[in-house]
Structure 1
Amino acid sequence: MTFHLCPYSSSLACVADCCSDSGFMKTVNFTFNDVKLLLNFEVIYGQTLMCSSFMRNPLSRVELYALSPAEAPTVYILCDFLGGNISCKTAVKRRQALRGPAYMFSAPSVSLTEVEQRFLEAAEYGNIPEVRRMLLHVPSLNVNAVDYMGQNALQLAVANEHLEVTELLLGRADLARVGDALLLAISKGYVRITEALLGHPSFRDARRLTASPAQADMLDDFYAYDEDGTRFSHDVTPVILAAHCQEYEIVYTLLSKGARIDPPHDYFCGCDSCNYQQQFDSFSHSRSRINAYRGLASPAYLSLSNEDPVLAALELSNELAMLANIEKEFKNDYCRLSSQCKDYVVGLLDLCRSTEEVEAILSGETDSEDSYDMPGRPSLTRLKLAIKYELKKFVAHPNCQQQLLSIWYENLPGLRQQTTAIKLLVVLAVAIGLPGLAVAYWVAPCSRVGSVMRSPFMKFVAHASSFTIFLGLLILNAADRFAGTTLLPNMTHHQHPEGSPLNPDPLLLYRMTTTPFTWMEILIISWVMGMIWAEVKEIWSQGPGEYLVEPWNFLDFGMLAIFLASFSCRFSALRHADLAQTYVHAHYTTLINITLPPEIEYFTLARIDWLPSDPQLVSEGLYAVAVVLSFSRIAYILPANESFGPLQISLGRTVKDIFKFMVIFILVFLAFMIGMFNLYSYYLGAKQNDAFTTLEESFKTLFWAIFGLSEVRSVVINNGHKFIENIGYVLYGVYNVTMVIVLLNMLIAMINSSFQEIEDDADVEWKFARAKLWFSYFEEGRTLPVPFNLVPSPKSMLGLVTAIKSLLLQFAERHIVEKTETQLNQLGESKNSGYGASTSPTRYQKIMKRLIKRYIIKAQADRESDEITEGELKEIKQDISSLRYELLEEKAQNMETLDGLLRRLGEISTPAP
């Protein structure tokens, strides 16, 4: 071994050359101040080992640390002493090993001096006295020197959470890579170090916190990890990283200094910046958008950066859900962030402790601060938004459901606690007394009966009863034909089985006995017109966009449109029949043994002789379809019941699966239908049946084959063309295997999967569907059910007059306000300045502040309980290491002081010669 005296402080460096890449065992015998010292230690590169030894001299300290192997690996042995000689007698080395995988890091571009090496080691291991001495006494010290990994002293100190060392280094004006140290401190959650770094003069420029390292004016080594680039993604700013790491204190500190996360542009944005980034590096552009959204969706950023975090979370969750459907390659990432926003809102709702706080979250900030003290129903604007964006866990939360239930039974004290039997009796009484209740509401809408009728529960019962009556009318309209009609299709009223005409008028045309509307059909028309008027009012209040979002509105629109088309065709047929009857009354006295014009005679024919396009036949066909849709509308009210609600939800999901399945089904069906038609279209009349000989027959045969109602002999040819017949057998067999065995079973599996999903989360799905049903009755209006809503009530007329008056007042006030603002501007005054301008927080802001505090406290408590103790142990070790260096420094200073005092005492006690 070779010994060199280090010209720094009072230490002697023993430099030993060795040839191992991973480490070595060494035994060294030292003689220090005539005291023999035997050291046994193992060197592992990248670690520092304090060598314990049996020494009688308490003033000695031996420290061993090793760098990574280079071309000639070096081990430093440092001995602090007060004076004396040191010698080494033996050194045992391992044989030289081959270069390992870390070789690429072992040759730094610039070799370090011994002083720089000691400086980096002191910064890494928290040797505060050593760092302080070197910064003060070595003016030429390069504080930006880097180790084999390219990290300078500041980065090493921050990585090992040495706050005091970091503060010492920040005193140097020429310090580099402060931004990377800040990002490192944020990623590790070192709050105090982050605050110390933010106090550096370089952060006086606001762009250092708002701009990312990738921006043009930031292409320096401020955020650089080493000479090759940044530690994190080039688009990550400090506030984005803090939001990613859920560091609430650091996010608050950065926000207070003006840092913000800029929302990404729309995905279809065509600005120059987006186009350039998309063309230059599309992957980096997409990743930067995801990183920005990760920061925006962070609970820490949502809580601390938004005045209305509930609204921000709801809007952001919907935006992320839409992006998940657009950027399919990052769908999982966007769905995860959307779920994170939804969970955040649910977490806030879970922390509510009073009805006031629940209403604040469900309704948001109202226009009037005194709205809570005034009697009335909460607006529930946030809940409406949550239903629109399908935040099912939020809507199905117990706190939300309890609030909805209290509104549902509004103005009905005691009914909520009644049994199901009592509620059924109430429903029956409302159904029977519905006309009387409607008249009472017309006469006195503000009376006790009127307030009861405006209750959401009573509105639901009234509308459900009205629709039930409508279905009853549809049934009664066909009651005369339950046992079969007495007038056959080939008969007219003059050929009645009983031998007497149905009408004594001899000039009465047959169509005038079947086309006119009956009193039952007139009632049905009144119900349909009432439902049409209700839908028109709903479209007016919600807007066409909102109206078309709800699937049930499509069913209502289709049902009413078909009813309207049916009645229009029936009215057209009645009009033509009435014109024919008028012509007969004007020109004839009897219909016996006379010849009528063809266009008049047509109205005397029996049903079997009518044209297929006859308006009455079209009307009857449309009416049958409308009846089916009317009965299917019952499914709308099923979510009100806990037993039928999940079944209705499963049925709706099944319909969606069927529509998805129909795409594949139609493709396969068309392929075989066209193929079989091409094969057998030349054999019309040469087969046992007409299957596959025409396109219509091909469709019928293949469709009913799915249900096993088609015969195998459909492919048989009479003239013995066996090749064509065999091809037909093969195609028909493949079709049955594909459709019946494969596709139908796949459809069954899809339906079963959807049902299982609903069943696994049946409670949430049902409560969400029930809340949607309830919410449709919370809004003002629609109190009177069909058909009583056709008659304008005094309240409606008063509301119309009030609306017109309000519009006129707003128009007048607008001119007054504009005139006042013009005068104030001329005087140089602000409308909001002066006495009475209120800057105090609103009630909603106070409530949200309380909830945000609870959420942050809970999040920090959960994080502390879930964190692994390994990081805490490492922090304790670093603190102990720093404390050790400080104690050793203090001990050395005390010993120097004591030695000086002893020498001085010896000089004084020694008598002069």
Structure 2
Amino acid sequence: MVSLVLTKGYLGKLQSSSFTPDITPIILAAHRDNYVILKMLLDRGDRIPRPHDLRCACHICSQARREDGLQHSKLRINTYRALTSPSFIILTSNDPILTAFEMSAELQQMGELENEFRIEYEELTKKCQEFATDLLAQTRSSVELSVVLNHDTGSSGMGGHVAGLTRFPVGENGIEDQQLSRLKLAIRYEQKNFVAHPHCQQLLASMWYEGLPGFRQKPMAAQMMTMGTLCAMFPLLATCYMLAPQSKLGTMMKKPFIKFLCHSSSYLSFLGLLLLAAVRIEALLMNTMDERMNDRGPLPSLSEAALVIYVIGFVWQEIKKIYTWGIRTYIMDMWHLLDFIMNSMYISTIAMRTVAFVRVRVYNEPRFVSREQWDSFDPILVSECLFAGANIVSTLKLVYVFTISPQLGPLQISLGRMLNDIFKFFCVYVLVIVAFAFGLNQLFWFYANNRARNCKHVHFTLEEGQKDVYDYCITRGTHFTNLFEIAQSLYWSTYGLIDLTSFNLEYPHAFTEFVGKLTFGVYSYIAFIVLLNMLIAMMNSSYEQIVQRVKWVKEREARYTVVMRELTKRYIMQKLRTAESDTVGADDLNEIKGDISAFRHELLDILRANGMCIPEIHKRCEFTLVCSRTVRLNLS
């Protein structure tokens, strides 16, 4: 019956109480995800036009926004709701998974641009992600799963990023044949559920522990012994890989888990050298610490020379990544930003040490000078500051190792999310500090000038009576001397380092002193009780989301057409079986009866108005109306 109705004429846009004018039969069928009717309409030639870009300034879009902006936005949402129908994607796309990925990214961008309808776009984004995950769940063997995850579409909508991602070297078997292009694409499109699916994780786990059969089934003691042995062998394995990469030991370095252990061991060795350089072990052993403290152009020690070699290796590694991946892909990973900061600090440290050495050895500046007489920006002092910062960043990089742990993985990922929360909190906190700093600066400007004038020429001394003056001048005497010092004082008061006595005035101005203390009390309430607790709640919420939504799994990482066809068939059959199991209720029958009764009365009114005459044009109009109602009844 539906097929007969569809072949008799075109069902146009009709205004009704149930549907808006933009709801065509094919859009309605896509909204209901009715595979059978969608196929009939597509075979007949019906299509769903893609909406123009949200920033489109063509005549049609400009006129639509000018006439009715809400209707234009609703039309766009209804169209996207139809385009994201799983049945429609299956019928119109040769690569449903790629289409779902691209549609998900497009909808996410639309939600950011059209913030008023963010919830609707987020629901459609989630729908696309679930559809791609459902297709992955239809794989029944490792062969099908491997074909799906290794399919490479070349350049895509994201600018050909698949080709720019790191590839495993191609070999005869095993991991060398697993390119995982589709999985890398899922990671780039942030398809968390797809990557976290058990099928995908099972393949990743088998690839990760390749070369160590039965490792996961071993007891904890045996695993620790195996890992310790491999870590101790990393110099030998690295040497064999460089000199004889095709040897048995050289090929072991190509296995992911073994490679990870060797890299971790190498980095721990680097941190060990940092520790030796930080405590200046050579100067301690040779009893030259006093000489080293006053040396303005020292030669690098053995540990520092080894660190220079490591830094050169780190820089070369990052250059290779940029060359292989491309600068755009490289900067999208925040860990690469951390590497860039660390390497920049080490390079700057080496440069400052070189400048100091040249000034002493080439320009014959004094080499041994008491450190108290050094300039504040002496190259050695600057290099020590840079080296200290680089040591902090280098040690914090060990957090990256936590990603592979199910226990510590969520904690490591939540740290990144918490940084976003801290940034949002800090924006509000800075505004509060600036606001109260303006008020306190206006309140204490006279007393601040007097304090600054009295402490202008006070220097450190141990003389009786003078030390108290110095202590006053470096604490209360500087807390509120200018706008910058007031902002600093308010910030450090967060950690309890500013006492209420700092607001005591040297003059008997009790009301001004009371207002100052009251202002500080209001600031403390807002900053400590309200904002700080809000930050704690935000950070706790971020961690809960990480744990519950298994986002940490995301950080762990033609045959395709044939396999995809089988997946879509299974998906369709599952949908049809679900649809066939649905029963028709009394409400559905009553609705159909009501529509038929209304149609009968409308038809009788038309016939009475025409004197029971039915011209040819009226026949076509009535037939179109019958077709439209029949299709909608079937869709309902």
State whether TM-score is above 0.5: yes
Aligned residue identity for 2:254? R
Report the Cα distance in structure 1 between the residues aligned to 2:286 and 2:232, rounded to whole angstroms.
34
| Residues 1:767 and 2:553 are matched in the alignment | yes
1:316 aligns with 2:116: no
- Asked if 1:233 corresponds to 2:233, the answer is no
Contact 1:639 1:766 in 2 (8 A): yes
With over 3 angstroms needed to count, the CA separation of the structure-2 counterparts of 1:630 and 1:372, relative to structure 1, is: closer
CA–CA distance in 1 between the matches of 2:136 and 2:311?
Answer: 42
Secondary structure in 1 aligned to 2:342? Answer: helix
224 and 415 in structure 1: CA distance in 2 versus 1, 3 angstrom threshold: closer
1:852 and 2:616 aligned: no
What is the rounded CA distance, in whole Å, between the counterparts of 1:868 and 1:568 in structure 2? 79
Question: Contact (CA 8 Å) 1:471, 1:631: kept in 2 or not?
Answer: yes
Partner of 1:198: 6
Q: Structure 1 CA distance, aligned partners of 2:172 and 2:385?
A: 57
1:344 Cα deviation (Å)?
Answer: 0.3
CA separation of 1:866/1:671 partners in 2, compared to 1, >3 Å: closer, same or farther? farther
State whether structure 2 residue 211 is matched by structure 1 residue 428: no
| Residues 1:708 and 2:496 aligned together | yes
Match of 1:741? 529
Question: Are residues 1:283 and 2:70 paired?
Answer: yes
Aligned partner letter, 1:520: S
Count of residue pairs brought into register by the alignment? 555
Once residues 252 and 572 of structure 1 are traced to their aligned partners in structure 2, the CA distance between those partners, rounded to angstroms, is 74
The higher-RCO structure (CA 8 Å, 6+ apart) is 2
| In 1: Cα distance, 2:520 partner to 2:511 partner | 14
Give the C-alpha shift of residue 870 in structure 1: 3.3
**1:382 aligned residue:** 182
- Separation in 1, partners of 2:42, 2:312: 58
Q: 1:692 to 1:365 in 2, by over 3 A?
A: closer
SS at match of 1:304: helix
Partner Cα distance (1:281, 1:873) in 2: 37
Task: Choose the corresponding residue for 2:214, options 404, 414, 419.
Answer: 414
Counterpart for residue 344 of structure 1: 131
The structure that is strand-richer by fraction is: 1
Q: CA deviation at 1:242?
A: 1.0
Q: Is the aligned partner of 1:861 residue 2:574?
A: no
Q: Distance in 2 between matches of 1:304 and 1:419?
A: 50
CA separation of 1:873 and 1:275: change in aligned 2, threshold 3 A? closer
State the AA in 2 paired with 1:455: K
8 Å Cα contact 2:152-2:181 kept in structure 1: no
Tell me the CA shift for residue 287 of structure 1. Answer: 1.2
CA drift of 1:257 comes to 2.0
Give 1:203-352 correspondences, 5 Å limit.
203=10, 222-225=12-15, 232-352=19-139
Corresponding residue for residue 682 of structure 1: 446
Matched, 1:359 2:359: no
- Decide whether the 8 Å contact of 1:365 with 1:844 is kept in 2: no
Offset of residue 606 of structure 1: 1.1
**Aligned mate of 2:485, from 685, 690, 697:** 697
Q: How far 1:479 sits from its partner (Å)?
A: 2.8
Question: What are the superposed Cα offsets for residues 829-854 of structure 1, whole Å, 9 maximum, x if unpaired?
Answer: xxxxxxxxxxxxx3211111111111
Query: Could you say if the C-alpha distance between residues 732 and 475 of structure 1 is closer, same or farther in structure 2, counting changes exceeding 3 Å?
Result: same
Pairing 1:843–2:577 present: no
Per-residue deviation, 1:446? 1.8
Which ranges of structure 2 fall in alignment gaps of 5 or more residues?
A: 155-169, 452-471, 598-636
User: CA offsets per residue over residues 400-438 of structure 1, 9 Å max, x none?
Assistant: 001111111223333343333333223322322222112
Q: CA RMSD in A?
A: 2.9
- Larger fraction in helix: 2
Distance, in Å, in 1 between the alignment partners of 2:336 and 2:126 is: 28
Match of 2:362, SS state, is helix
> Displacement, 1:482?
12
What letter matches 1:266 in structure 2? D
Counterpart CA distance in 2 for 1:345 and 1:699 is: 52
Structure 1 residue 866 displacement after superposition: 4.9
1:628 corresponds in structure 2 to 392
More displaced stretch, 658-667 vs 442-451? 442-451
Aligned to 1:654: 418
Report the Cα distance in structure 2 between the residues aligned to 1:481 and 1:727, rounded to whole angstroms: 56
Q: Distance between the aligned counterparts of 2:286 and 2:506, measured in 1?
A: 45
The structure number with the bigger radius of gyration is 1
Structure 1 residue identity aligned to 2:117: F
Residue 511 (structure 1) aligned with residue 295 (structure 2): yes
Change (3 A) 1:551 1:870: farther
Residues in 2 aligned to 1:720 and 1:612: alpha-carbon distance in whole angstroms? 41
Contact 2:13–2:23 at 8 Å: present in 1 too?
Answer: no
Partners of 1:865 and 1:483 in 2: CA distance? 82
When structure 1 is superposed on structure 2, of 258-267 and 451-460 the one drifting more is 258-267
Alignment map for 1:754-903 (pairs within 5 Å): 754-761=542-549, 764-771=550-557, 842-866=558-582, 869-870=585-586
- Letter matched to residue 275 of structure 2: I
Identity of aligned residues (%): 37
User: For residue 342 of structure 1, what is the amino acid of its counterpart?
Assistant: Q
Q: Distance in 2 between matches of 1:443 and 1:629?
A: 32
CA distance in 1: counterparts of 2:562 and 2:430, whole angstroms: 59
2:200 is aligned, of 386, 400, 404, to 400
Q: Secondary structure at the match of 2:480?
A: coil
Q: 1:627 to 1:314 in 2, by over 3 A?
A: same
Q: Tell whether 2:308 aligns with 1:529.
A: no
Q: Could you give the per-residue CA deviations for residues 718-760 of structure 1, whole angstroms, max 9, x where no partner exists?
A: 1212232122111111111111111111111111222222233
Matches within 5 A, 1:492-503: none
State the SS of the aligned residue for 2:33: coil
CA 1:694/1:486 → structure 2, altered by over 3 Å: closer, same or farther? Answer: farther
Residues 658-669 of structure 1 correspond to what in structure 2 (within 5 A)?
658-669=422-433
Aligned residue in 2 for 1:717: 505
Equivalent residues of 1:412, 1:452 under 8 A apart: no
Distance across 2 between alignment mates of 1:700 and 1:450: 56
| Alpha-carbon separation, structure 2, partners of 1:654 and 1:343 | 27
| 3-state SS in 1 of match to 2:258 | helix
- Please name the residue that 1:577 is paired with: 360
The answer on 1:543 being equivalent to 2:329 is no
CA contact (8 A) 1:682 1:693 kept: no
In structure 2, how many angstroms separate the alpha carbons of the residues matched to 1:365 and 1:751? 38
Letter in 2 for 1:452: M
Distance 1:639 1:449 in 2: 27
Cα displacement string for residues 561-597 of structure 1 (whole angstroms, at most 9, x for unaligned residues): 11111221121111112124xx4xxxxxxxxxxxxxx
In structure 2, relative to structure 1, the CA distance for the partners of 1:726 and 1:374 (3 Å cut) is closer
1:454 aligns to what?
Answer: 254
TM-superposed CA distance for 1:868, in Å, is: 5.3
State the shift of 1:872 in Å: 6.9
SS of the residue corresponding to residue 684 of structure 1 reads helix
Pick the aligned partner of 1:673 from 437, 441, 446: 437
**2-structure distance, mates of 1:768, 1:311:** 18
Q: Can you list the C-alpha shifts for 1:123-156, whole angstroms capped at 9, x where unaligned? A: xxxxxxxxxxxxxxxxxxxxxxxxxxxxxxxxxx
Distance in structure 1 (CA, Å) of the matches to 2:27 and 2:531? 49
CA shift, 1:626, in A, is: 0.9
Report the Cα distance in structure 1 between the residues aligned to 2:330 and 2:102, rounded to whole angstroms: 20
Q: Which moved more, 1:690-699 or 1:566-575?
A: 690-699
- CA 859–554 in structure 1, closer or farther in 2 if over 3 Å, else same: same
Q: Which moved more, 1:614-623 or 1:273-282?
A: 273-282
Q: Distance in 1 between matches of 2:349 and 2:393?
A: 14
CA contact (8 A) 2:151 2:180 kept: yes
Give the TM-score, by structure 1 length.
Answer: 0.57
